[in-house]
Amino acid sequence: MDSTITVHDFSAHLFWDVDLEKFDLDQYKEFIVQRVLEYGMLKYWILLKDL
C-alpha cells in the first residue's frame, strides 16, 4: 500500500471502534475497504482508490 496515506487521512467516524495509533493499513486492507464502501463519503472512496 502507499505509505504516504495513513489511517488518519480518513475520517475517524469510519473507524470508531479501532485504536488508530496501533492500526496497520496493510494488515487490515479488507476491513478498510468494507468500512469506506459502507460508511465513507466520496472523498474517502477516492482516497481508498489512491491507496
pLDDT string in tens for the chain (51-residue length): 556 888 889 999 999 999 988 988 889 999 999 999 999 999 999 999 998
Which pLDDT does position 20 carry in this prediction?
Answer: 87
Which pLDDT does position 24 carry in this prediction?
Answer: 87
Neighbours of 18 (CB within 10 A): 15
User: Alpha carbon of 25 to those of 41, 48, 50: distances in Å?
Assistant: 19, 11, 13
- How many whole angstroms separate alpha carbon 45 and alpha carbon 22? 22
Which pLDDT does position 3 carry in this prediction?
Answer: 60
Percentage helix, strand, coil for the chain under 3-state DSSP, each rounded to 5:
55, 0, 45
By C-alpha distance, which of 28, 30, 27, 33 is closest to 48? Answer: 33
Which pLDDT does position 51 carry in this prediction?
Answer: 86
Which pLDDT does position 5 carry in this prediction?
Answer: 87
